[in-house]
Structures are given as C-alpha cells and as structure tokens.
Amino acid sequence: WDGVFGLGLNISDSPLFNVHAGLLRNFKLPVFSVYLAAHLGEESDITFGGIREDRMESPKDLFYIPVSSPGYWQFKLDDIAVGGKNLNLGCGCKGCCQAVLDTGSSLIMAPSFVYHLLQKKLGVPDTDTPCTNMTDFPDLGFVVSTPNGPYTFNLKPEDYMDRISDGGQDFCWMHMTTVGNTGRGPILVLGMPFLRTFYTLFDMEQQRIGFAKARHNATEGKRTGRDVPMLGCREGCPKFNATK
C-alpha cells in the first residue's frame, strides 16, 4: 500500500480531512459514483460530481435508500436470501442487520455466524474439498426496503464465488470471509463482489445511496462529471489521462 484515499461519509477526524467533501464542493451535483469492471478487458472508474448512465443496464431503474448511520456508507438490510428464499434473520430490531459499502474490500465480509450460515445454505464446500460434480449453486441476495417495496440485490454464483481446475478436479471458494467486531455491532461489509454487480451512487448532501444493475462491456456514453480511472501508478509506470 502507498496510501488510502478515504471516501467515507463522516469518519474523518476533522471536516478539513474529508477528501470527497472538499472535492465535491466544486461540483453542482455533490455525489460520486463507482463502477467496478467485471474483468481485465474493462476499466473501472470513479465519477465525481456526476452520474454515468452508460454504466447502468437500465438508468430508469436507479433507486435510492437512506444511510442508516452517518459515518460509513451504511444501510439497513431487511434480510438475506438464498435461492430466492429469505433466511428470516430477524432484522426487525433497531440497529440490526446493517451493511456497509467498502470500495477498499476485495471480498464480502460477514460476522462468523453469518458466514458459516451462508456457506451451508449456498452449499459451497471448503477450498480443500473438490466441487467437480457441483454445478448448480443458488443466487445470494441482500434484501432492502425501497419506496416501491422490497428489493433484492441478487448475486449470481459467478459473482460471489470462483472455481479452478487442478489435476482433473475442480475446487470452489466463496469471495467471502469473516469480520470481527467493528465497534458498530455485527455488520456485513459489501466489497468488490457486490460493487462489480451494482453501479453505486453516493449522495453526500442527502445522505443516501443509489443503486442500479451494472452494465458491463458498455460503450462510452454521455458523462456528467469527471471520471478518474481506478488505476495505481508509481514513478516510472506508463502514464494515463483522466477524462476532462
């Protein structure tokens, strides 16, 4: 790591250290949005002060949910679903079933009891157990409330797990790990597997998060802000140009 570029909502020691708050003062639309590529043939980007409709499968389906606890980009889950069936985790209590979006996490992270429950329900074996004859894994869904009713963020097996072949056998593993106490109670951290699947809009002014199914292999379209390619570059590496 050369450093961390913080885009949290309100966790800086001082407002002066809130990077994106300073940046977004220069834009009429105080938002930033994140698009993560699904494979190496695409480019990821962060758009400051605008929305990339060409990064969505259907821009008209963009919807918002409120931030449940200002600080992180945190929101309330109503349940988790496997194969279209809710697990009935009992998310009705205050402060229960919270999720955080984290562009710095390469995995989905869950409390230990949730991780082991999902591993069992999804039927994904341990990494040292062959899954050669296992071809039918269920969808993994995260259920939220929207102004138009419940919505489930569905991840396909190829979104939340991977498999390789070795010595004539297949081995599978989930893009998921356990997370300890975050100081905010049991929290589900939705990292890259989730953010690759859904184009995500972060609205600082109204403290809400927008979502739409990501469109991959999309052609370039109209841009309403400034895009920054999500690339790391040290001294001596090839230069790249951000969109003006």
Per residue in 105-137, pLDDT (tens digit) is: 899 999 999 999 999 999 988 877 888 888 889
Confidence band (pLDDT; 50, 70, 90) for 59?
very high
pLDDT band of 239, cuts 50, 70, 90: very low
Whole-number Å distance between alpha carbons of 109 and 224: 33
The CA distance from 161 to 163, in Å, is 7
Instruction: Express as a percent the part of the chain with pLDDT over 70.
Output: 80
Q: How confident is the model at residue 222 (pLDDT cuts 50, 70, 90)?
A: very low
Comparing 26 with 244, the larger pLDDT belongs to 26
Residue 21: how many other CB atoms lie within 10 Å: 17
pLDDT grade, residue 67 (50/70/90)? Answer: very high
Would strands 108-110 and 176-178 be described as parallel, antiparallel, or unpaired? Answer: parallel
In this predicted structure, what is the pLDDT of residue 98? 93
pLDDT of residue 163: 87
Q: Which of 113, 198, 196, 189 is nearest to 162 (CA)?
A: 196
∠ Cα 216 219 224 (to 5°): 100
215 falls in which pLDDT band (50, 70, 90)?
A: very high
Q: Which 8-state DSSP code applies to residue 204?
A: T
Query: What is residue 11's predicted lDDT score, i.e. its pLDDT?
Result: 61
Is residue 37 helix, strand or coil?
Answer: coil
State the pairing for strand pair 98-101/187-190.
Answer: parallel
What value does the mean pLDDT of the chain take?
83
> Which of the residue ranges 20-24, 54-58, 166-170, 218-222 would you say has the lowest mean pLDDT?
218-222
Q: Which region among 13-22, 186-195, 232-241 has the lowest average model confidence (pLDDT)?
A: 232-241
Cβ neighbours of 61 (radius 10 Å): 11
Q: Residue 128: its pLDDT value, please?
A: 77
Residues 6+ apart with CB under 8 A from 236: none
Gap between the Cα atoms of 66 and 44, Å rounded: 25
What is the distance of C-alpha 172 from the center of its chain? 21
Three-class DSSP category at 60:
helix
Task: With beta carbons less than 8 A apart as the criterion, state whether 81 and 143 touch.
Answer: yes
- Phi, psi (deg, nearest 5) at residue 188: -95, 125
Distance CA 14, CA 211 (A): 29
pLDDT at 18: 66
pLDDT for res 160: 94
pLDDT higher for 181 or 220? 181
In this prediction the pTM is 0.82
Q: How far apart are CA 197 and CA 56, in angstroms?
A: 10
Is pLDDT of 223 > 60? Answer: no
